[in-house]
Chains A and B, each alone.
Chain A
Amino acid sequence: MAMPSTRNKLAADWIVRMAWRDSRRSRSRLFLFVSSIIIGIAALVAIYALGDNLEKDIDNQAATLVGADLVIHSNHSLEEAEQRLVDSVKGLSAAHSEERSFASMVLFAKNGGTRLVQVRALGGDFPYYGKLETVPEAAGTDFRNHRQALVDKTLLLQFGAEVGDSIKVGDVLFEIAGRLNQAPGQSGLSTTVAPAVFIPLAYLDATGLNQKGSRINYNYYFQLPDGSDADELAGGLDSLLEVHRMGYDTIATRKQETGRSFSDLNKFLSLVGFIALLLGCIGVSSAIHIYIKEKLGSIAILRCLGASSRQAFLIFLVQVIGVGFIGSLIGAVLGTCIQQFLPLVFKDFVPVDISSDISWSAILQGIGLGVWISVLFALLPLIGIRNIAPLNTLRLSLDSQNPVKDRLSWIVYGLIALFIFGYAYLQLSGFLQTLVFTAGVALAFAVLFATASLLIWLVRRFFPASWSYLWRQGLSNLFRPHNQTVILVISIGLGTAFIATLLLVQEMLIARVSLSASDNQPNMVLFDIQSSQKEDVAELVTEQGLPVLDQVPIVTVQLEAINGITAEQARADSTLQVSRRALGGELRTTYRAALSDSEKVTAGTWVGKTAPGDTARVSLEEGYANRIRVSLGDTLLFNVQGVRIPTIVGSLREVDWNRVQTNFRLIFPMGVIDNAPQFHVLMTRVPDDVVSARMQQAAVRQFPNVSIIDLGLILSVLDEILDKIGFVVRFMGGFSMLTGFVVLVASVMISKYQRIKESVLLRTMGASRKQILVITALEYSFLGLLASVAGVLLALVGSWALAIFSFEVPFVPDLLAMGLLIVGITAITVFVGLFNSRGITQRPPLEILRKDI
Chain B
Amino acid sequence: MAAILSVKEVGKTYESAGKSLTVLHRINFEVEAASTVSIVGPSGSGKTTLLGLCAGLDRASLGSIVLNGVCLDELGEDDRAKVRNQYVGFVFQNFQLLPTLTALENVMVPLELRGERGSRSRALELLDKVGLADRGHHYPLQLSGGEQQRVSIARAFSNSPQILFADEPTGNLDAETSETIERLLFNLNRDMGTTLVLVTHDMELAFKTKRVIRMKGGGVISDEVTQPKEL
Q: Which of A's residues lie within 8 Å of B, judged by CB?
A: 1-4, 6-9, 11, 14, 17-18, 21-26, 297-298, 300-311, 389-391, 393-395, 397-399, 851-852
Does B30 interact with chain A (Cβ within 8 Å)? Answer: no
Expressed in whole angstroms, the Cα–Cα distance for A69 and B50 within the complex equals 89
Q: Which residues of B contact A397 (CB under 8 A)?
A: 58
| Alpha-carbon distance A311/B112, docked complex (angstroms) | 12
> With A305-B110, A393-B92 in contact, is A8–B82 under 8 Å at CB?
yes
Q: Is the CB of B14 within 8 A of A297?
A: no
Contact assessment for A7 and B115 in the assembled complex, using a CB-CB cutoff below 8 Å: yes
CB contacts (< 8 Å) of A17 on chain B: these are: 112
- Inter-chain contacts of B186 with A (CB < 8 A): none
Binary CB contact string for chain B from 68 to 90 against chain A (1 if under 8 A, 0 otherwise): 11100001011101111111001
Q: Cβ of B220 < 8 Å from any Cβ of A?
A: no
- 30 A-B pairs within 8 Å (CB atoms) are namely A3-B75, A3-B79, A4-B83, A4-B86, A6-B82, A8-B114, A14-B113, A21-B105, A22-B98, A23-B100, A25-B99, A300-B96, A301-B96, A301-B98, A302-B98, A302-B109, A304-B57, A305-B85, A305-B155, A308-B82, A309-B77, A390-B81, A390-B84, A391-B52, A394-B57, A394-B92, A394-B167, A398-B14, A398-B16, A852-B141
Known: A8-B85, A306-B86. A298 touches B99 (CB 8 A): yes
Asked if A4 and B109 make an inter-chain contact with CB atoms under 8 angstroms apart, the answer reads no
Q: Which residues of B contact A8 (CB under 8 A)?
A: 82, 85, 113-115
| B81 x A399 contact (CB < 8 A) | no
B139 on the interface (CB 8 Å rule)? Answer: yes
User: How many Å from the CB of B18 to the closest CB on chain A?
Assistant: 13
Q: Verify if B184 is at the interface (C-beta below 8 Å from A).
A: no
**Please, how many angstroms separate the alpha-carbon atoms of A212 and B90 in the complex?**
101
| Most A Cβ at <10 Å: residue of B15, B77, B97 | B77
Given contacts A9-B115, A11-B115, A394-B51, contact A298 B98 (CB under 8 A): yes
Residue B149 at the A interface, CB < 8 A?
A: no
Q: A8-B115, A308-B78, A390-B57 are in contact. Are A3 and B100 (CB under 8 A)?
A: no
- B48 touches A (CB below 8 Å): yes
Which of A21, A301, A303: most chain B CB closer than 10 A?
A301
Cα–Cα, bound, A755→B57 (Å):
32
Cα A74 to Cα B159 in complex, Å, equals 89
Query: In the complex, which of the residues B100, B110, B141 contacts A26, with contact meaning CB atoms closer than 8 Å?
Result: B100
Given contacts A1-B69, A298-B100, contact A306 B85 (CB under 8 A): yes
**Chain B residues with CB below 8 A from A311, complex form:** 113
Cα–Cα, bound, A616→B212 (Å): 114
Contact A3 B98 (CB under 8 A): no
Do A4 and B100 touch (CB < 8 A)? no
Q: A3's contact among B52, B83, B105, B159, by CB below 8 Å, is which?
A: B83
Q: Are A306 and B84 in contact (CB under 8 A)?
A: yes
CB < 8 Å neighbour of A1 from B70, B77, B81 = B70
CB-defined contacts of B70 to chain A, threshold 8 Å: 1-4
CB pair A22 B101 closer than 8 Å: yes
* Top 6 closest pairs, chain A to chain B, by CB: A306-B85, A1-B69, A4-B86, A25-B100, A308-B78, A390-B57
CB-based nearest A residue for B102: A21
Task: From B57, B78, B100, B159, give the contact of A389 (CB < 8 A).
Answer: B57
Residues of A within 8 A of B115 (CB): 7-9, 11, 14
| Bound CA–CA A307/B112 (angstroms) | 10
State the Cβ distance, A123 to closest chain B Cβ, in Å.
Answer: 79
Query: CA separation between A7 and B86, bound complex, in Å?
Result: 10
A308 to B58, alpha carbons, bound, how many Å? 14
Contact of B82 among A4, A21, A310 (CB under 8 A): A4
The answer for the CA separation of A25 and B139 in the assembled complex, in Å, is 10
- The answer to whether A307 touches B90, judged by C-beta atoms less than 8 angstroms apart, is no
- Nearest opposing residue in chain A for B112, CB measure: A14
Cβ-defined partner of B87 (8 Å) among A4, A14, A305: A4
Q: For residue B47, give the distance in angstroms from its CB to the closest CB of chain A.
A: 11
Once the chains are docked, how many angstroms separate the CA of A26 from the CA of B57? 28
In the complex, the answer to whether B57 meets A305 with C-beta atoms within 8 Å is no
**In the complex the two chains form, is A305's CB within 8 Å of B113's CB?**
yes
Is there an interface contact between A24 and B98, defined as CB atoms closer than 8 Å?
Answer: no
Q: Say how far B100's CB is from chain A's closest CB, in angstroms.
A: 4
Distance in angstroms from A319 CB to nearest chain B CB is 11
Among residues of B, the one whose C-beta sits closest to the C-beta of A390 is B57
Interface centre among B78, B97, B139 (most CB of A within 10 A): B78
Q: Cβ of B100: which chain A residues have Cβ within 8 Å of it?
A: 21-26, 298
Interface residues of B in 37-53 (CB under 8 A from A): 48, 51-52
B92 CB to closest chain A CB, in angstroms? 6
Which residue of chain A has its CB nearest to the CB of B48? A394
In the bound complex, residues from chain B placing their C-beta under 8 Å from that of A18 are 109
**Complex alpha-carbon distance, A819 and B110, angstroms:** 60
List, in ascending order, chain B residues with CB within 8 A of A398's CB: 14, 16
- State which of B48, B58, B69, B77 has its C-beta within 8 Å of the C-beta of A2: B69
Q: Which residues of B contact A4 (CB under 8 A)?
A: 70, 82-83, 85-87
**Smallest CB gap from A6: residue in B:** B82
Q: Evaluate contact between A307 and B96: CB separation under 8 angstroms.
A: no
- Asked whether, in the complex, the Cβ of B99 is within 8 Å of the Cβ of A304, the reply is no
Other A-B contacts than A4-B83, A303-B77, A306-B114, 16 sampled, CB-CB below 8 A, are A1-B69, A3-B83, A4-B86, A6-B82, A8-B82, A14-B113, A22-B98, A304-B96, A305-B85, A305-B90, A306-B82, A307-B109, A309-B81, A391-B52, A391-B57, A851-B141
| Chain A residues with CB under 8 A of B113 | 8, 14, 305-307, 311
Closest chain B residue to A10, Cβ basis: B115
Q: How far is the CB of A200 from chain B (nearest CB, A)?
A: 80
State in angstroms the CA–CA spacing of A502 and B120 once bound together.
62
Measured CA separation A397–B14 after assembly (Å):
10
Query: Which chain B residues (92-136) contact chain A, with CB distance < 8 Å?
Result: 92, 96-101, 105, 109-110, 112-115
Q: Which B residue sits closest to A299, measured CB to CB?
A: B98
Q: How far is the CA of A399 from the CA of B85 in the complex (A)?
A: 23
Q: Return chain A residues, CB-CB under 8 Å to B90.
A: 304-305, 393
Picked from B51, B58, B78, the residue with its CB within 8 Å of the CB of A309 is: B78
Which A residues are CB-close (under 8 A) to B68? 1
Min C-beta distance of B81 to chain A, whole Å: 5
Which residues of chain A are within 8 angstroms of B48 by Cβ–Cβ distance? Answer: 394-395
- Whether the Cβ atoms of B84 and A304 lie closer than 8 Å is yes
* CB of B138, distance to nearest CB on chain A (Å): 13
Nearest neighbor of A24 in chain B, beta-carbon distance: B100
In the complex, are the beta carbons of B81 and A307 less than 8 A apart? yes
Q: B57 contacts which of A3, A6, A11, A393 (Cβ < 8 Å)?
A: A393
A261 to chain B, nearest CB (A): 53
Interface centre among B77, B81, B97, B109 (most CB of A within 10 A): B81
